[in-house]
Amino acid sequence: MKIFDAIDSLRRVSKGINGDFIENISGGFLTFKNKYGKGNAKAFKLFTGLEVLSFNILASETIVLEKLYKNSNCLHFIFCTEGFLTHYLDKDVEKQNIHRLQNVIIGNNKNNASTIVIPANTKVKFTIITVIEVSHLSNDLKNGNQLSNLLSNIMSNVSNTENYTYFGEISSKTATFVDTIINTNLSGLSNRLINEASVYRALASQYSSRGNNIKKVENKNPLSKKDTLQIIELSDYISQNLHETIPLKKLTLISGLNQKKIQKGFQYFFGETVNKFITNLRVLKAKEYLEETDFSISEIVYKVGLNSRSYFSKIFKEKYGLIPKEYKKYHHLSNPTFQLSYYSEAVEGITKKDLIAVLEASKRNNKLQSISGCLIYYKASFYQILEGPKTEILNLIEIIKTDKRNKNVNVIFEGVKSGRTFGEWNMALIQDDFNTIESNDDFDVIPIEFLPMTDIKNPLANKYLWEKARNYLIINQEVDK
């Protein structure tokens, strides 16, 4: 079974409303401003089996978000803090409105996809938190960890009928947590923990509301605006100094707040004590190192300010269900993906036949070396991204430098990353003079108007270009199927 993927759902939404979509290690992000209206949305995953979509949209025209998810044995907790929505399942004639501050839980056992309709001339803010039944997760993740316990508790008493829908009472209990999810960006460790804490609190609030056993939730910020800023600054300080010992006394000296007020602030924003916050931040940073670098486990333990590798393994497994070594393997980082992007100038007089030869040779040879990527020809220049074993790619770039069909090869960026941007060798040829490719191989052609071709020699702009190319290829491959 394909586990629910919020990022894929948001990518499809982006295509439907001609939005601008980008994906990175933190999640997927959509922005748009066109005839459909304006707004933004994000998708991110806390664990395998616990994912979040959030939307902040002003719709000028009716917006239909189709096929947001299509999985059995999962629940979607929907909460709208502004405006209202209409929801229906595939092949389901009945449509139901989701009102502002209404607690809604939806699930099914027949792989029916959900559709949400945002009415024209409506401002909406809402989240969808999705959980998968623990029995459908990988065996590696069923170790009594935080996620499996959470899912077991939530799924244990849910009806096994074909479709499960709960449209509950109007309540403001969950609104504060949902607004925090919508309004807090995902960059920075402390922001990621704020999002994580808010997701758990929203989930607990909605689930307890369903059972008519709502505990008192104190939504009022116990701190003044000035003290609130001090707490946020302290969380940033901690995230930037994880390698140090950070006693509570030191935080009082830095902020001027007393220990009681600091603890109260961390409980409000992060749902935990300062010490627990620091520990979780260290685990989160370690997870980031495991996903993005080829550091050894011992190096990571040192970098996040811990002294014991065994203690690190213990707290990491408690949170993510796997010891760090297994997690590294699970994310295919035993041999990290090395990524390099470059541009070069085509020699004068290059022909369509020459370009096809480059494409065919690249596709054939790089496949043998386990190298994937994408090649673009635009305005007499080559732009290419290469992904795979570091040694093979560095050898390849030296060969490219000696290829007489191009000159002035310049590396734009290089480094290690988690996974691959391009799953297979996708070739893209972009040039009005060569808008058709006749070859024995199949090449994907990306329309020039789809890609941002300005300032693409800048590292950030270049990475954005490849994200756009990837999204186009993924979406059109789905359409073709």
Asked if 233 and 223 touch (Cβ cutoff 8 Å), the reply is no
Range with the poorest average pLDDT among 6-20, 275-289, 347-361: 347-361
pLDDT of residue 140 exceeding 50, the answer is no
Per-residue pLDDT tens digits for 412-421? 988 777 667 7
At the top level of CATH, the class of 225-330 is: mainly alpha
Beta bridge partners of residue 338, listed in sequence order: 388, 416
Residue type, 144: G
Q: Output 386 or 146, whichever has higher pLDDT.
A: 386
Kindly indicate whether the domain formed by 337-480 is annotated with CATH number 3.40.50.300. no
Mean pLDDT of the chain: 78
Distance separating alpha carbons of residues 301 and 227, to the nearest angstrom: 32
In the prediction, which pLDDT does 455 show? 79
Q: Name the band, by pLDDT with cuts 50, 70 and 90, for residue 221.
A: low
Q: Name the band, by pLDDT with cuts 50, 70 and 90, for residue 87.
A: confident
- Rounded to 10 degrees, what is the CA torsion of 461, 467, 470, 476? -100
Alpha carbons within 13 A on the beta-carbon side of 1: 19
Per-residue pLDDT tens digits for 182-195? 988 887 777 888 88
Distance separating alpha carbons of residues 329 and 470, to the nearest angstrom: 25
Element spanning 15, H or E: helix 6-16
pLDDT of residue 370 exceeding 70, the answer is yes
Q: Parse the chain into domains and list their residue ranges.
A: 6-189+203-210, 225-330, 337-480
In the prediction, which pLDDT does 429 show? 56
Per-residue pLDDT tens digits for 89-138? 765 557 888 988 888 888 765 666 778 899 999 889 999 998 876 454 44
| CATH pick for 6-189+203-210 out of 3.40.50.720, 3.40.50.300, 2.60.120.10, 1.10.645.10 | 2.60.120.10
Residues in the chain: 481
Distance separating alpha carbons of residues 197 and 439, to the nearest angstrom: 53
